[in-house]
Chains A and B, each alone.
Chain A
């Protein structure tokens, strides 16, 4: 574990590259109510602690160290991760790269879809764009390198594979991952609280839906 400054108003707490470690550290830091903290954000193997203004970061780092040494009492049962069922339509019109990914993986498109929808995933980090989940749990045989040239605009809801990770584009944005389907769910909605549907640590499964179900999915 190491704590390093991130500019004059934030600290980066590095832990092992493990979801459990990240979540445990984030939980302890939340519970510690460290003075001056305005935000805490977990990433893959680190948790960033943001302060409202520049301060004595050495003192804050010591406070963080103490907080992380505490035995976690916030029982794991109260914080059981949610399991989300994410409907996905793998219709060719949405699955812009399904054929290319199938070819890369040397599987038929049907086989690819079956394997993609059979796996259980976990949200390793939310970032890149508001509500964008980086997912672990992609079956190894489906890993596919990112597209050499990113698309200027990936449609909102696009379900994607980027290297060994899976993801979902919550909003229409540029992106280089391979698109294999689309969900009708709104992963990010600023008028909602919380705005992001998925949080770091959440569990997730993809449920195959057909085109009619997609069109009729309640907003």
Chain B
């Protein structure tokens, strides 16, 4: 079986797909690529099913060596990505040959990229997914982050649809370059929104918050104006989801990301809307972030619009590969 060599893994590289959406009653996190949209688009560009496993690469620099000819495509933060010195733009399928090396990063802006490889990463699925659950230690390669010298099994390529070095056609840039200089995340109100003082609610939607270093795939921890509640009420733990913004007693919000727990007891001031989760996945320490409130109807409309765009993109891909 063809094996991809991780020559250099960088700070954090994991195998991910679209995660485990139906095991929460067992306490299993959703997990998966923190930017599901980019994961799907990158897979489509190389002719994979959208659910194929790919690499989530944090910050870089990382180096991969290929066993045979493959199509690759990537998206996410603003990273340099090169195959043997040729720069490959985000959202463009590219061809990499046997024994060639692909280098990723270091990041210019943003935190993560998703790299799809034709054939996908063929580790065994567990609970319906190949995603690495780092906290619980299962999935991906032996339930852990990839290290230098690791080898990953690749699936069969079938008919590689990419033979030129870089495709002349690709995905829209705003899909595949998701890091922006001033980040505004759109949110809907959380269950405990009314429990916060009026000043705290106003500050939450006005002030900038800075990402703290203790951030990971479970959550982006922020620092800023202290968000106080009118009364400190202890609550029974209830469900939380990726995008939930919870505020522990220190008043400093945490944006939960894909590997977050299934339940939590901290008050939920707001939730990042689904279409903006890819932006939250690009936050890295010292980045600034602000929040803007939208309605549930708007959140849904943004999602429907993006899905319609993605549908057209799928049709476009199919027409090109006939």
Residues on A lying within 8 angstroms of B by beta carbon are 4-10, 12, 14, 17, 38-46, 48, 50, 52-57, 125-132, 171, 173, 188, 190-191, 194-196, 199-200
**Considering only CB atoms, which chain A residue lies closest to B236 in the complex?**
A44
* A196→B307 CA distance, assembly (Å): 34
User: Chain B residues near A50 (CB, 8 Å)?
Assistant: 21, 24, 241
User: What are some 7 contacts across the A-B interface (CB < 8 A)?
Assistant: A6-B271, A8-B296, A41-B25, A44-B236, A44-B237, A129-B261, A173-B135
**Considering only CB atoms, which chain B residue lies closest to A14 in the complex?**
B238
A26 CB → nearest B CB, Å: 8
B296 touches A199 (CB 8 A): no
User: Chain B residues near A53 (CB, 8 Å)?
Assistant: 274, 303, 307
B303 touches A39 (CB 8 A): no
Would A6 and B27 be within 8 Å (CB), given that A54-B274, A190-B138 are in contact?
A: no
Say whether B26 faces chain A, with CB atoms less than 8 Å apart. Answer: yes
In the complex, given contacts A8-B271, A129-B27, what are 19 additional A-B residue pairs having Cβ atoms less than 8 angstroms apart?
A5-B296, A7-B271, A7-B272, A8-B274, A12-B238, A41-B239, A44-B237, A46-B236, A46-B238, A50-B21, A54-B274, A127-B262, A128-B261, A171-B137, A190-B126, A194-B26, A195-B28, A196-B26, A199-B26
A152 CB → nearest B CB, Å: 14
Say whether B123 faces chain A, with CB atoms less than 8 Å apart. Answer: no
A128 CB → nearest B CB, Å: 6
Contact with A along B18-37 (1 / 0, CB 8 A): 00011111111100000000
B262 touches A190 (CB 8 A): no
User: Chain A residues near B126 (CB, 8 Å)?
Assistant: 190-191
**Considering only CB atoms, which chain B residue lies closest to A7 in the complex?**
B271
Q: Interface residues of A: mostly helix, strand, loop or mixed?
A: loop
User: Chain A residues near B28 (CB, 8 Å)?
Assistant: 130, 195
What total of chain B residues lie within 8 Å of the partner, measured CB to CB? 42
User: Chain A residues near B238 (CB, 8 Å)?
Assistant: 12, 14, 43-46, 48
* A56→B299 CA distance, assembly (Å): 10
* A41→B238 CA distance, assembly (Å): 10
* A90→B299 CA distance, assembly (Å): 52
Say whether B15 faces chain A, with CB atoms less than 8 Å apart. Answer: no
User: Chain A residues near B26 (CB, 8 Å)?
Assistant: 126, 130-131, 188, 194-196, 199
Would A54 and B299 be within 8 Å (CB), given that A7-B188, A127-B263, A200-B25 are in contact?
A: yes
**Considering only CB atoms, which chain B residue lies closest to A172 in the complex?**
B137
* A173→B238 CA distance, assembly (Å): 21
* A20→B299 CA distance, assembly (Å): 35
* A48→B262 CA distance, assembly (Å): 10
* A190→B123 CA distance, assembly (Å): 14
**Considering only CB atoms, which chain A residue lies closest to B137 in the complex?**
A171
Contact with A along B226-248 (1 / 0, CB 8 A): 00000000001111110110000
User: Chain B residues near A8 (CB, 8 Å)?
Assistant: 188, 271, 273-274, 296, 299-300, 303
User: Chain B residues near A5 (CB, 8 Å)?
Assistant: 188, 296
Say whether B191 faces chain A, with CB atoms less than 8 Å apart. Answer: yes
A126 touches B25 (CB 8 A): yes
B205 CB → nearest A CB, Å: 17
